[in-house]
């Protein structure tokens, strides 16, 4: 299976306009990615652009800080799903987590997850922004994600640099129940890193450099 099938082809830049989103969707179809990941505003457009393909629409809520009201995140979730999103990547309330308000953090995760699952066959990924957490906090965040009923733990929004993504993934593989899905994201720009993450057991990759990753995969296969 091509590595593209593990990738959420992502464009979350603040200045991304319609031509860029259109190109993203076209590339996703051509490359055969699992999904495109776009900001909520672009969900209807992406849903239409991908109408006759197998590529799903993924979006983000509470993005990128998680520092908003539960009601806001729930509205974002409901509106995104009603407009065609089939995957929701929600940001954990990192400030509340850092304050030790774990019940509030878990409550939001559960609210979003329950709403999404009740609205259909929707996948929920919780972004924990691992580069901002200590190792003990990463383990705690992982336990909350599992308790919430969410489908995936996602490492990063991509807005915070993480010099040790592979190390974080190793920790999460250890901390989570065996086989619990992990989405790795943030600075994955080449095939070597993407392949290393899959070898660690990652189930999904968020990347904007998808074409480069796929090209490098093809070159590697040819060399062999």
Strand segments, DSSP code E, in the chain are 7-11, 35-38, 56-61, 87-91, 123-127, 152-154, 182-185, 204-207
Total residues belonging to the chain: 224
φ, ψ dihedrals at 148, nearest 5°: -70, -20
**Which tokens hold the place of 77?**
């979730």
Q: Give CA–CA dist 65/158, Å, rounded.
A: 11
Which tokens is 190 given? 């080449």
**Could you list the active site residues?**
89, 154, 183
Q: Which domain holds residue 23?
A: 3-223
Number of domains comprising the chain: 1
For residues 71 and 64, give the distance between their C-alpha atoms in angstroms, rounded to a whole number: 16
CATH number at residue 204: 3.20.20.70
154 φ, ψ to 5°?
A: -115, 135
Phi, psi (5° rounding) for residue 118? -70, -25
User: How buried is 69 (Cβ within 10 angstroms: 0-12 exposed, 13-18 middle, 19+ buried)?
Assistant: exposed
Cβ(83)–Cβ(122) below 8 Å: no
d(CA 103, CA 212): 41
How does pLDDT run along the chain (224 residues), one tens digit per residue? 799 999 999 999 999 999 999 999 999 999 999 999 999 999 999 999 999 999 999 999 999 999 999 999 999 999 999 999 999 999 999 999 999 999 999 999 999 999 999 999 999 999 999 999 999 999 999 999 999 999 999 999 999 999 999 999 999 999 999 999 999 999 999 999 999 999 999 999 999 999 999 999 999 876 55
């Amino acid at each position: 299976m091509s590595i593209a099938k593990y990738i959420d082809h992502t464009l979350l830049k603040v200045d991304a306009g319609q031509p860029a989103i259109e190109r993203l969707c076209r590339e996703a179809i051509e490359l055969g990615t699992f999904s495109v990941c776009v900001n909520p505003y672009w969900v209807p457009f992406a849903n239409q652009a991908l109408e006759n393909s197998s590529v799903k629409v993924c979006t983000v809520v509470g993005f990128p800080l998680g520092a908003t009201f539960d009601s806001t995140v729930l509205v974002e979730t409901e509106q995104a799903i009603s407009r065609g999103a089939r995957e929701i990547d929600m940001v954990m309330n990192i400030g509340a987590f850092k304050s030790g308000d774990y019940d509030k953090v878990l409550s939001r995760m559960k609210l979003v997850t329950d709403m999404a699952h009740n609205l259909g066959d929707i996948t929920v990924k919780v972004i924990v922004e691992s580069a901002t957490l200590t190792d003990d906090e990463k383990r705690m965040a992982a336990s909350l994600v599992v308790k919430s009923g969410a489908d995936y733990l996602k490492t990063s929004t991509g807005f915070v640099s993480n010099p040790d993504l592979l190390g974080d993934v190793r920790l999460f593989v250890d901390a989570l129940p065996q086989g619990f899905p992990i989405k790795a994201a943030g600075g994955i720009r080449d095939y070597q890193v993407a392949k290393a993450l899959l070898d660690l057991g990652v189930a999904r990759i968020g990347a904007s450099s998808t074409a480069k990753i796929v090209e490098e995969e093809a070159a590697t296969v040819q060399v062999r």
